[in-house]
Chain A
Amino acid sequence: MSWSAELVEALGRENVITDPARLRTYECDGLTGYRVQPAMVVLPRSAGEVAAAVRVCARHGVPFVARGAGTGLSGGALPVADGIVISLQRLRRIMEVDPVNLRAVVEPGVTNLDISKAAAPYGLYYAPDPSSQQVCTIGGNVAENSGGAHCLKYGFTVNHVLAAEVVLADGTVTRLGGESPQLPGYDLLGAFIGSEGTLGIVTQVTVRLLAKPAAIRTMVADFATVAGAGDAVTGIIAAGIVPAAVEMLDNLAIQAVAASTESVYTPDTAAALVVELDGPPDDVAEQFDEVQEICRRNGSTKIMVAADAEHRALIWRGRKAAFAAVGRISPNYFVQDGVVPRGRLAEVLGRIAAMADDAGIRVANVFHAGDGNLHPLVLYSEGEGQHDRAEHLSTQIAELCVELGGSLSGEHGIGADKACSMPRMFGQDDLATMLRLRSAFDPDGLCNPGKVFPTPRLCGERPGPYRPHPLEEAGVIERL
């Protein structure tokens, strides 16, 4: 029997897609400039069916790519031609919310936000909050080690997952992690999280839940210069304050927000910081005053404190809508995800501005300033033939981050997008050692091949321009 016939037999015809028109939905993720049509998409309904599909692939040497909501921004869920896509969208049961043990057990297709919603009646929530949280899946979060605005204080997916059931590349099912993080042996769970779907498919996840903080205070501080805002961030960190979030928007980003939604930001300020503190009320109150003082000391021209929850939501809506808003002031843009040491924020922003001037290209900045994770948006017009210059600038920015002692990616992953830049950050021996781990999990290289690690085939090709994710265009999700 051919492998495709075997898959149909294992999963049922109604759970298999081969019609080219329907396959098109799966040909890219949020990095829409890269597109590949898979030979088939399968939609298993249980972990057992995932394992059955993988076993067929293993027997026939067919590459497979797991897919959650397809919101990834690095081409991680990009299909392999002649391979299959395994969609986890039908595995979306919340198996258990356990307030006593402060955890939840969920299937991989459950969205990030639905976990917090299920935990809310107990006063609990799931901390990592990517701004795609309404649609992105916990399986995708595990694969990407996703972060969010609040991971400055609370950490990333890897700090909040206790255990995972995983289908390995040979189709066997195993469990990584356990009831408690105190476990003997290599931390396979930790290594798996953030492996971008290359080490196996997650079919169940146990996450930690936190009690909601008693108090939340939010402010927007304006600055006359971007450097001033950067220095304020450094000042806050240096004062020993760990805010829940510190986000920065520069003027171009603020203008974009103002053009698209009801904006609470000052239209003509050079930069704004959104600072949020959460925790016990008295601690928060004391440090909130201190943060305002630090902002003023660093030249803040105006501080607006959120009066109530509604006002806070408005501040966040503007912040989170910034990416989509930028799409309205520029026909095309590239988004970068580089990270720099926090003390070099003002420096890197200055250098990006100078590079943008030299290239005659606009760059908007909206990003997680507290942990040094930039999201420069390189604005250009495909129609005006700016693509190559913009792409070059975009790559230069990512590489500048590495040069300044940072990283190519803070949360979006390497995927197919930045695999070719990996040699900028890691030496040959580093990459070869990482591949030893891959070979231990997946000796035949069938699990999401062509991602993370540079290959000659991949690095010879040039991607198309960034196009907004369809869900983003529809206003369902926002970009951070």
Chain B
Amino acid sequence: MSTVTTYRPSTLADLRDAMAESARAGERLAVAGAGTAVEWGGAPEHDAVLDTTAMSGLISYNPTDMTVAVQAGMPLRSLQETLAGNAQWVALDPALAAAGATVGGLVATADAGPVRHTFGASRDSVIGVTVVLADATVARSGGHVIKNVAGYDLAKLFHGSLGTLGVLAEVVLRLHPRPSATATLAVPCHAAAAFDLGGRLIHGSLEPVAVEWCGRVLLARFDGTAGGVEDRGRRAMALAGDGAEWLPGDDERAAAHWAAVADLVRGAEGDTVVRLGTAPDRTPSLAALVAREAAAHDVDAAMTSSPFAGAHTVRLRGGTASQHAAVVTALRAAAPAATVCRWTPGLRDQLPAWGEPPPAVAVLRAVKRAFDPNDRLGKGRFAPWF
């Protein structure tokens, strides 16, 4: 086994120099943050690793403007702790944050959690980036203001780039106020009933900040003022009917429900975890498919969905790699936009890293060529697409 060089810059200048050195050496480079998403998609071939975790500083924080600039290696969790002091937060709750995921890593993986329902994914909170390209070019786009249309938005391009276009060095984020009150509606029900009730909460203008269906329970979180949340609680309970529970923010059961969602998404050693996107109303049929395929192939499957974002995660546990492969193949047929985020040992030998390519794959390839013509960064991450 050859030894792998590791670069661990702590400043933008260090990062640029490391990139220049690596470019001179013609190395294939894997970019890594906290390593919580190393397995996503293909496994990159690499001679060296660029580790961003030493770039973890706060660059500037202006609570009055509700914006913050950080080095990309800062864990989201620590950033949220800092912001909590001013009753502010980045409106992002990805499961991997608890595992130490970095801000840059979350952008590069296009990650999001249940509040995606209201606030979108990391792309929707990022207002500026500084990136370092494979040839050590340092480029900036966006800025420090929440409204800005000057120039192309490179942050979007890097959203979901999985370390294949360049390294995110600095990220500027818009912040939201922490609500003064929060509560969760929990309703045990099957997927079709969950989709129906979720729709009624939304159409009834009750404005849930998150709607999730996990472990056969519909979870809807409501944020707002104390009086407002209480009032909506009454109305939501009336809509939900028997079996529904209203859990105030500090209730342990509410926390446990949401922790279960994150736990499922993270998965554990030996699991296979797949993320999928579908139209919202396909949530019930996807849930049925997951149950059917899991039974047919004798694996234990669990699913969590943000139905109205059409974002789902399926976790497979138990069984063999080939049993997992059969289920993943069926999932890919149902939703080509699938990302395998965790591979049970042996699964990679049975399946290509990605399923059917998206319609714009030719543009994805062209963008990759324009940013990294020598294919140095994350080589093979998007194989067989490019």
Chain A positions within 8 Å of B, measured between CB atoms, are 99-102, 122-123, 144-145, 147, 151, 155-156, 158-159, 168, 172, 174-176, 178-191, 193-195, 211-214, 234, 237-238, 240-242, 279-287, 339-343, 368, 371-373, 405-414, 418, 422, 425-427, 429-434, 436-441, 452
Contacts and interface: CB of A to CB of B under 8 A. Distances in A.
Contacts of A284: 228
B227 A123 contact: no
Contacts of A180: 277-280, 309-311, 337
A343 B62 contact: yes
Nearest to B164: A186
18 contacts: A100-B281, A159-B124, A175-B359, A179-B279, A180-B310, A180-B311, A182-B277, A190-B153, A191-B153, A279-B207, A280-B205, A286-B228, A341-B144, A409-B150, A430-B140, A433-B139, A434-B141, A439-B370
Nearest to B340: A184
A393 B13 CA distance: 37
A179 to B, nearest CB: 4
Contacts of A99: 203
B59 interface: no
Contacts of A100: 199, 280-281
A373 B225 contact: no
A260 B252 CA distance: 59
B145 to A, nearest CB: 5
B176 A145 contact: no
Q: How large is the interface on B (under 10, 10 to 19, 20 to 34, 35 or more residues)?
A: 35 or more
Contacts, number: 285
B312 to A, nearest CB: 8
A182 B276 contact: yes
List 7 A-B pairs, minimum CB-CB distance, nearest first: A283-B228, A190-B156, A180-B277, A240-B177, A180-B310, A433-B139, A182-B277
B114 to A, nearest CB: 12
Interface stretch (B2-10, B64-72, B182-190): B64-72
A280 B151 contact: no
A352 to B, nearest CB: 17
B317 interface: no
Which of A413, A425, A433 has most chain B Cβ within 10 Å? A433
A411 to B, nearest CB: 6
Given A437-B157, A441-B363, A430 B141 contact: yes
Given A180-B279, A414-B151, A341 B62 contact: yes
B104 interface: no
Which of A144, A187, A211, A434 has most chain B Cβ within 10 Å? A187
B123 to A, nearest CB: 6
Nearest to B229: A283
Contacts of B141: 426, 430, 433-434
B1 to A, nearest CB: 30
Nearest to B177: A240
Contacts of A155: 120, 124
A174 B366 CA distance: 14
B150 A174 contact: no
A452 B66 CA distance: 28
B48 interface: no
Given A158-B156, A279-B207, A434-B139, 17 more contacts: A175-B360, A180-B279, A180-B310, A182-B110, A183-B160, A184-B338, A191-B152, A191-B157, A211-B203, A241-B177, A280-B224, A339-B147, A340-B145, A405-B143, A433-B141, A436-B370, A440-B363
B202 interface: yes
A181 B277 contact: yes
B121 to A, nearest CB: 6
B277 A178 contact: yes
B382 A185 contact: yes
B224 A279 contact: yes
Contacts of A123: 203, 205
A182 B64 contact: no
A283 B224 contact: yes
B277 A183 contact: yes
A339 B148 contact: yes
Given A178-B277, A187-B160, A283 B203 contact: no
Contact of A411 (B131, B149, B178, B385): B149
Contacts of A414: 149-151
